[in-house]
Amino acid sequence: MTTPAESNLLEVQNLRVDFPTRRGTLIAVDDVSFEIKAGEVLGVVGESGAGKSLTGAAIIGLLEPPGRISGGEVRLAGKRIDNLAQEQIRQIRGREIGMVFQDPLTSLNPLFRVGEQLIETLQTHADLDEKSARKQAIDWLAEVGIPSPEVRIDQYPHQFSGGMRQRVVIALALCANPKLIIADEPTTALDVSIQAQIISLLKRLCREHGTAVMLITHDMGVIAETADRVAVMYAGRLVEIGEARKVIQNAKHPYTLGLMGSIPTIGDTEEELRQIQGSMPRLAEIPEGCAFNPRCPNVSDRCRKHRPELQSVDESSVACWLFEDAAVPSELS
Amino acid sequence: MLAFIIQRLLQAVVVMLSVSFVSFALFQFVGDPINNMVGQDATEAQRELLRERLGLNEPWPLQFIHYIGNIIQGEFGLSYRLGIPVEDLIADRLPATMELVLVSAFMALALGVPMGVYTGLNRNSWLSRLFLTISLIGISLPTFVIGILLILIFGVWLQWLPTFGRAGVVDLGWWTTSFLTLDGWRSLIMPSITLALFQLTLIMRLIRAEMLEVLRTDYIKFARARGLRNRAVHFRHALKNTLVPVITITGLQIGSLLAFSIITETVFQWPGMGLLILQAIQFVDIPVMSSYLVLIAFLFVLINLVVDLLYFIVDPRLRLDSLSRGAH
Ligand SMILES: Nc1ncnc2c1ncn2[C@@H]1O[C@H](COP(=O)(O)OP(=O)(O)OP(=O)(O)O)[C@@H](O)[C@H]1O
Ligand SMILES: [Mg+2]
């Protein structure tokens, strides 16, 4: 175990999230470790059900029962936050870690004016009187690119288009100046034409405010453009993590290769389009050994029996037996 | 919004006209009132005279127009049974029923809403389970059983409260009220609990179900993710979103409180409209029955209008939709 570097804003160590059920415990996030440096954008990718959202929810303390953190640690600026009392973690939410959800149409309370929701959030985290809170709210609306914010502030969410609403959501998530934003597929629900605008807005604002981002997405294009590093998840496990450029151009894990292969790039011809066979196992049916082994083109006996751990290969970390020789072998029980 | 109100008012007028027609038709189809009013040995001339006085000799469309005209002027005709104007009878009984219904509705809301919020937020606490169990009793026991049980316990055994009647009434001239004396409250309390219990459990269960639903929504998750305090998340963001269905149901339930009050008034011998209508039905006192019908319909229409207006206050989406619709 290495001592975490000073500059790490968020450290997730051996995080495990599970759901106790009548027929046993379902492990949805299994032994996941990564860190995010201040101001860094970490992309998180993986098939649907890989555990991306749950990892985000666990970090911010919003897992819904019966889901729970059953192992590992989450540290923010060196301080543990996974075992805090309700009130303490509440004070971290919004102020230290913000969150943006997928669907802007449902993220805003339909019965309150946009301004009321902004002002309420501002006043929760800072001692502001009504007038200066309102002024800041208008400034935030302007900052996320909403035209005539003095008028818009008194309107209700349904008077905004989807893209505009997601701008409001971003203002709400950023208005208490958190050091980290968890953006869970922030553009999936939007028109393709608007997605790029929202991503570049998020990117610009976070750069200006020095906010780190955990960007959960299915869009490799967004990762390539936005992320500094990328983490690949499969069946609740982290299978590869490294610098975005390296992972995209030189993917190591067979699953990552498959993911990259399934995105057609310009100039690709049909024969180049690779597909991963099969689908991700359900939580109750994750195989022994490497979770990816039934679908892996390079599967060996060892993959079926022993689970590979993350190990550095070149500049990335990969959990795959193929690269054992390239790193120090780690013993498994 | 104005267009909407006008539209609703027109609908209300149509409803009222239809109900008046039905209640008017009662006169035509239910027996000959003259037989009920005069004795067996009245002469044909006496009968004819009475018929003339009651306007029963005109063709029915004309009678209907008269009927409507009279209703609008607040004249509902003479009671066959008592021979005095129905509006006087009603004016005499209405305050008793209205006060009973109001106190019951207030009880049901003032207890049902907080209990619903509590059980929605603390699904597994023992108090929630207790509330839910009690509410099952409230829903499954018939009103009259609850009333009789209350009378037995608090009236007969403990002798804390009067078992029947409306004591301690203060006459204000245009209204009689129980609210001004201790005795008034003492006789009001058991009937209103009896009447409120079913509504209370209904509202509690409704709010609980709505709360559970709303707490799962994205905007609640996002409110929590912004670090808002629990108090703000639960009572500002969540509760307000449960209000629309609650307003609907409450409106409907005030109507059914009026209806259920017949049973409660019978059990407690509460001198309200329910008791009046029961006696009227026994005697086939058509003017009283038909006036009751018109009056209840009017109250329903009124409540519905209020409910519609409350929607506007609570939900901005309706407000703006109808604004833009109204502009065209
Ligand atoms: N309440 C629950 N009970 C049991 N399993 C659950 C529960 N909530 C989530 N899961 C499971 O946890 C796994 C991870 O879910 P998660 O939402 O994190 O996936 P994701 O990677 O965000 O997928 P997507 O790309 O579709 O958003 C899924 O297999 C899901 O079925
Ligand atoms: Mg997700």
Do B166 and B94 lie in one domain? The reply is yes
With CA atoms as reference, the chain A residue closest to B218 would be A107
Rounded distance between C-alpha atoms, residue A187 and residue B160, angstroms:
66
> What Å distances lie between residue B186 and B108, B161, B175, B189, CA to CA?
18, 6, 19, 6
Task: Using the 3D structure, point to which of B39, B72, B105 is the last residue of a domain.
Answer: B72
Query: Which atom of ligand 1 has the smallest separation from the CA of A29?
Result: 14
Most confident stretch, A43-52, B45-54, B319-328: A43-52
Do B253 and B315 lie in one domain? The reply is yes
User: Is B84 inside any structural domain?
Assistant: no
User: Is B79 inside any structural domain?
Assistant: no
> What Å distances lie between residue A331 and A290, A306, A317, B58, CA to CA?
15, 10, 17, 106
Q: Model's pTM, two decimal places?
A: 0.82
User: Is B77 inside any structural domain?
Assistant: no
pLDDT confidence bin for B139, thresholds 50/70/90: confident
pLDDT confidence bin for B27, thresholds 50/70/90: confident
Q: Sheet of A229-234: strands edge to edge? A: A97-100, A180-184, A212-216, A41-45, A229-234, A237-243, A316-318, A311-313
Do B226 and B283 lie in one domain? The reply is yes
For residue A65, which ligand has an atom nearest its CA?
Answer: 1
Rounded distance between C-alpha atoms, residue A153 and residue A134, angstroms:
9
Number of C-beta neighbours around residue B251 at 10 A: 19
Report residue B325 as tokens: 């619709």
Candidate from B227, B241, B316 with C-beta closest to A91? B227
Q: Name the average pLDDT for chain B.
A: 84
Our answer on whether the CB atom of A182 is closer than 6 Å to any ligand 1 atom is no
Contact A124 B227 (CB under 8 A): yes
Predicted confidence (pLDDT) per residue in A181-217, tens digit? 999 999 888 888 889 999 999 999 999 999 999 999 9
Q: How far is the CA of A82 from the centre of ligand 1 (A)?
A: 19
- DSSP class of residue B157 equals I
Q: How far is the CA of A54 from the centre of ligand 1 (A)?
A: 6
Tell me, what's the pLDDT at A287?
A: 86
Contact A124 B228 (CB under 8 A): yes
Q: Is the pLDDT of residue A330 over 70?
A: no
Query: Which atom of ligand 1 has the smallest separation from the CA of A47?
Result: 25
Predicted confidence (pLDDT) per residue in B274-294, tens digit? 888 888 888 888 888 888 888
Task: Using the 3D structure, point to which of B46, B72, B98 is the last residue of a domain.
Answer: B72
Do B94 and B188 lie in one domain? The reply is yes
| Averaged pLDDT for residues A284-292 | 87
Most confident stretch, A99-113, B28-42, B156-170, B243-257: A99-113
Q: Is the pLDDT of residue A294 over 90?
A: no
Contact B315 A112 (CB under 8 A): no
Rounded distance between C-alpha atoms, residue A284 and residue A299, angstroms:
21
E strands within B169-303? 170-171, 176-177
**CA nearest neighbour of A240 among A308, A332, A326:** A308
Do B41 and B148 lie in one domain? The reply is no
Q: Which residues of B touch A113 (CB under 8 A)?
A: 316
Residues with CB under 5 A from ligand 2 (ion): A 53
User: Which amino acid is located at B224 in the chain?
Assistant: R
Helix (H) or strand (E) holding A104: helix A104-107
User: Is B82 inside any structural domain?
Assistant: no
For helices A192-209 and A162-174, the axis angle rounded to 10 degrees is: 20
Domain count, chain B: 2
Most confident stretch, A107-111, A218-222, B300-304: A107-111
Tell me, what's the pLDDT at A266?
A: 52
Residue B187 belongs to domain with CATH number: 1.10.3720.10
| Averaged pLDDT for residues A272-286 | 74
| Averaged pLDDT for residues B165-171 | 80
Helix (H) or strand (E) holding A18: strand A8-21
Our answer on whether the CB atom of A56 is closer than 6 Å to any ligand 1 atom is no
Predicted confidence (pLDDT) per residue in A132-167, tens digit? 999 999 999 999 999 999 999 999 999 999 899 999
Tell me, what's the pLDDT at A275?
A: 64
Do B261 and B115 lie in one domain? The reply is yes
Contact A101 B223 (CB under 8 A): no
Q: Is the pLDDT of residue B303 over 60?
A: yes
* Mutant choice from B222, B224, B246, B314 vs A, greatest count of A C-beta within 10 A: B222
Shortest Cα distance, chain B CAs vs residue A94, angstroms: 4
Do B259 and B323 lie in one domain? The reply is yes
Contact B225 A156 (CB under 8 A): no
Q: Which of A16, A19, A187 to mutate to test the pocket of ligand 1 (most atoms within 8 A of CB)?
A: A19
Rounded distance between C-alpha atoms, residue B217 and residue B246, angstroms:
18
Tell me, what's the pLDDT at B290?
A: 87
B25-45 core/surface letters (b: 16 or more CB in 10 A; e: else)? eebeeeeebbeebeeeeeeee
Our answer on whether the CB atom of A52 is closer than 6 Å to any ligand 1 atom is yes
- Express the helix, strand and coil content of chain A in percent, nearest 5 each: 40, 25, 40
pLDDT confidence bin for B322, thresholds 50/70/90: very low
Do B183 and B46 lie in one domain? The reply is no
Strands A41-45 and A229-234: parallel
Q: Is the pLDDT of residue A130 over 70?
A: yes
Question: φ, ψ for residue A55 (rounded to 5)?
Answer: -60, -45
User: Is B16 inside any structural domain?
Assistant: yes
User: Is B85 inside any structural domain?
Assistant: no
Strands A180-184 and A212-216: parallel
Tell me, what's the pLDDT at A295?
A: 87
Do B173 and B318 lie in one domain? The reply is yes
Report residue B175 as tokens: 């209204």
Q: Is the pLDDT of residue A262 over 70?
A: no
Do B220 and B164 lie in one domain? The reply is yes
A29 versus B174: which is more confidently predicted? A29
Rounded distance between C-alpha atoms, residue B134 and residue B112, angstroms:
12
Q: How far is the CA of A314 from the centre of ligand 1 (A)?
A: 32
Rounded distance between C-alpha atoms, residue A151 and residue A114, angstroms:
11
Query: Which atom of ligand 1 has the smallest separation from the CA of A54?
Result: 18
User: Is B78 inside any structural domain?
Assistant: no
Predicted confidence (pLDDT) per residue in B190-236, tens digit? 899 888 888 899 889 999 999 999 999 999 999 999 999 999 999 99
| Averaged pLDDT for residues B24-32 | 73
**CA nearest neighbour of B242 among B217, B266, B221, B265:** B217
Most confident stretch, B9-23, B36-50, B54-68: B9-23
**CA nearest neighbour of B223 among A214, A103, A213, A118:** A118
Rounded distance between C-alpha atoms, residue B43 and residue B39, angstroms:
9
Structural domain of B300: 90-327
What DSSP line would sit under B44-82, residue for residue? HHHHHHHHHHTTTTS-HHHHHHHHHHHHHTT---B-TTT
Rounded to the nearest 10°, the torsion over CA B316, B320, B325, B328 is 160
**Range in A198-207, B142-151, B318-327 the model is least confident about:** B318-327
Query: Which atom of ligand 1 has the smallest separation from the CA of A102?
Result: 27
Q: Is the pLDDT of residue B167 over 70?
A: yes
Do B28 and B165 lie in one domain? The reply is no
Tell me, what's the pLDDT at A271?
A: 44
Shortest Cα distance, chain A CAs vs residue B202, angstroms: 25
Do B110 and B258 lie in one domain? The reply is yes
Predicted confidence (pLDDT) per residue in A82-121, tens digit? 999 999 999 999 999 999 998 888 999 999 999 999 999 9
Candidate from A94, A103, A172 with C-beta closest to B218? A103
For residue A66, which ligand has an atom nearest its CA?
Answer: 1
User: Is B83 inside any structural domain?
Assistant: no
pLDDT confidence bin for B323, thresholds 50/70/90: very low
Predicted confidence (pLDDT) per residue in A9-32, tens digit? 999 999 999 999 888 889 999 999
Tell me, what's the pLDDT at A272?
A: 45
Quick one: what percent of chain A has pLDDT higher than 90?
Answer: 59
Tell me, what's the pLDDT at A243?
A: 93
Q: Does B232 reach chain A within 8 Å, measured CB to CB?
A: yes
Predicted confidence (pLDDT) per residue in A298-329, tens digit? 888 888 888 898 888 888 888 888 887 654 44
